[in-house]
Chains A and B, each alone.
Chain A
């Protein structure tokens, strides 16, 4: 059960994200739950005092990053999905994302994809950054570190699936795993990609 007050706090998180994430969310809901599912989702959002622009948003519009996290929480709550399902939703998002289409020129090789990973983050968010800590093709491992304010855990779960999908555009055997680490007293979210 979602806490309205907590959601308000989340909504007030600093930073913005591209509108395309609401489009990919909506498309996935339509695929999985149909039109009624999407309507139910919109209704729940309205009941909680949020208007999430699933149908009207433009892919390159900037929307509050808190609203993006609320959308994920609402979806999980409305349809009773486990985290794995949210991860799956993230996994499939690049398949239909407009912005990914703009970035496809980078998905021509593992090297190029890794090299342009920070660019991906900047393209999608106004806060935080993505840092490639390791890219070792011999060991078949890539480590990406996300330097950003702390968001809701569901957001990182979603990104785990998302990054795995993007990584697989160059190698279908790649698997992404999210973890957290503290360096010099600062918390970082780590995404380790192996194949």
Chain B
């Protein structure tokens, strides 16, 4: 009884275990995603998984009990598979064509696992069927692509080889050409090198010559008796020679590179910079008194290279000695003139008394001698007066007394005084004046008469008989212009520069007229410039002469007009 109970208990437990196992196998068989079938040794399908149903389209009723060849079309393959699995435990990855229910052919991979019974006899096998159609399609696609790519690569390789050969040939040709060119270039470079060496030697020679020249030039500049200052194109001092340093008692190192404005800070240089101006104007022989015993004459020269200004040279010429000599000469002339004028006045009055008969009756012959003496004395007095005027001018004492007056009457007065002389010389004298009234100007009447007298005197003296002398007045807003035109002998071109200098007389006129001091135009120029005017002339030998001078019109006088 107990034994039966125990057996029942054991059987119950076994049943429970069997149920669990059954459930487990059922679930597993349904779940496993890989299509699996159980095939007996006769290749009859005995069981299928759910996954196989999905893949094949067959359910268990339709396919279980059927031959494996229903789904694996290749009968030989199926038979071989059976034979092989009978010998082996398993077969892996046997490719096959699977026939689904609808007739669709699917490329699959078959793997088989042998089943044995408790005695070890072959009782069938599990067959897994893996759909590899996508993998195969991919594989075929890849193989196709690889094949195409291989073909392309082979074509590319062939093409590349052709190109490489062509390129190699080109490169070789290029290399050959290059080599030839390098050789040619090397020869050229060697020749160029030699030429360059020659040029460098020449340049070096030229440099040495230039250096020598520069040294010479510097030696000349440094030892030049005149002071020299060189300004660059920006008007900065670039050079000052020792003589100029001495003139101003300055050192070059303190001045080089400075502009005119910066130089004006130095007291010694201030007068010079005043003359030069900031931009260094053109100056010609302007006097520059530095101290009592030093007077310089300043001139500027524009330095040009190929028509372009590269700087300015300032020349400082020491005229101290000339000024002293001139002053001494002036003092001597002044002294001599004063000393001579007193006895000449006494002689004049004595001779006048003789001619007037105050000292008794004289014979005709005696009168002629006395008259000649009187005239000579008069010329002597005139000369002395001129000399005294010049000394006054040069000493700065030739002061004039300007008054606001009309110039027309002054000219008319002089013209009238020359009528007798003009007629005597058989000349025609004409005075042209504008119809409108001329503006009044500031004039020293006596000095202005002297100017007109000098100009008219020259015109009359040096115009041959039958000639014409014309005095013309022209009025402008800012000035009055007076001209004296003659048809006389003229001034030779080569002597025109000296016309306004002291004691100048033209060579041609000296032969015509022995009288004349050569001081009239010098005095006239100084008088006109003292009035703020200008004087100049136009002439040529045998072409007559026109002297012009201008007198400025005061602004108020001009407005009154």
Contact = CB atoms under 8 A, between A and B. Distances in A.
Contact of B61 (A95, A101, A107, A172): A95
Interface string A95-116: 1101011001101110000000
A31 B65 CA distance: 18
A123 interface: no
A119 interface: no
A172 B44 contact: yes
A142 B61 CA distance: 25
A58 B61 CA distance: 21
Interface-central residue, B22, B41, B60, B65, by most chain A CB under 10 Å: B65
Contact of B41 (A60, A108, A168, A172): A108
Interface string A148-182: 00000000000000000100111110000000000
Nearest to A104: B46
B61 A98 contact: no
A59 B26 CA distance: 11
B242 interface: no
Interface stretch (B116-124, B392-400, B477-485): B116-124
Identify which of A59, A94, A95, A172 gathers the most chain B CB atoms within 10 Å of its CB.
A95
B40 A58 contact: no
* Chain B contact residues: helix, strand, loop or mixed: mixed
A32 B94 CA distance: 37
Contacts of B67: 172
Nearest to A107: B40
A59 B121 CA distance: 27
Given A107-B46, A108-B122, A109-B41, A60 B64 contact: no
B51 to A, nearest CB: 16
A60 B66 CA distance: 26
A56 B167 CA distance: 86
Nearest to A170: B42
Contacts of A11: none
A107 B121 CA distance: 12
Interface string B35-47: 0001011101011
B268 interface: no
For B15, B18, B22, B41, the residue with the greatest tally of chain A CB atoms inside 10 Å of its CB is B22
B60 A95 contact: yes
Interface in A24-78: 28, 31, 58-60
Given A31-B59, A108-B40, A169 B46 contact: yes
A60 B18 contact: yes
A120 interface: no
A92 B47 CA distance: 12
B65 A169 contact: yes
A100 B38 CA distance: 12
Given A108-B40, A109-B41, A172-B44, A94 B65 contact: yes
B19 A96 contact: no
B40 A165 contact: no
B65 A58 contact: no
Contacts of A96: 60-61, 64
Contacts of B22: 58-60, 98
**Which secondary structure dominates chain A's binding surface?**
helix
B117 A105 contact: yes
Given A95-B60, A96-B60, A107-B46, A165 B65 contact: yes
A58 B47 contact: no
A129 to B, nearest CB: 21
Q: How many interface residues does chain A have, given as a range?
A: 20 to 34
A164 to B, nearest CB: 10
Contacts of B38: 101, 104
Given A104-B38, A108-B122, A95 B44 contact: no
Nearest to A172: B67
A85 B61 CA distance: 14
Given A96-B64, A172-B65, A101 B42 contact: no
A105 B123 contact: yes
A98 B21 CA distance: 12
A92 B61 contact: yes
Contact of A104 (B26, B60, B61, B124): B124
Interface string B17-59: 0110010001000000000001011101011000000000001
A94 B124 CA distance: 17
Contacts of A100: 46
Nearest to A88: B61
B65 A95 contact: yes
Contact of B47 (A28, A31, A104, A108): A104
A170 B44 contact: yes
A88 to B, nearest CB: 10
B69 to A, nearest CB: 11
Given A60-B15, A60-B22, A170-B44, A108 B124 contact: yes
Interface string B98-124: 000000000000000001010001111
B67 to A, nearest CB: 7
Contacts of A107: 40, 44, 46
A141 to B, nearest CB: 19
Given A59-B22, A101-B47, A108-B42, 18 more contacts: A31-B59, A31-B61, A60-B22, A95-B64, A95-B65, A96-B60, A98-B22, A104-B47, A104-B123, A108-B40, A108-B123, A168-B44, A168-B65, A169-B40, A169-B65, A172-B44, A172-B66, A172-B67
30 contacts: A28-B61, A31-B59, A58-B19, A58-B22, A60-B18, A60-B22, A95-B60, A95-B64, A96-B60, A96-B61, A101-B46, A101-B47, A104-B38, A104-B40, A104-B124, A105-B115, A105-B117, A105-B123, A105-B124, A107-B40, A107-B44, A107-B46, A108-B42, A108-B123, A108-B124, A168-B44, A169-B46, A171-B42, A172-B44, A172-B65
Interface of B: 15, 18-19, 22, 26, 38, 40-42, 44, 46-47, 59-61, 64-67, 115, 117, 121-124
Pairs A-B, 7 closest by C-beta atoms: A95-B64, A105-B123, A95-B60, A92-B61, A96-B60, A105-B117, A108-B41
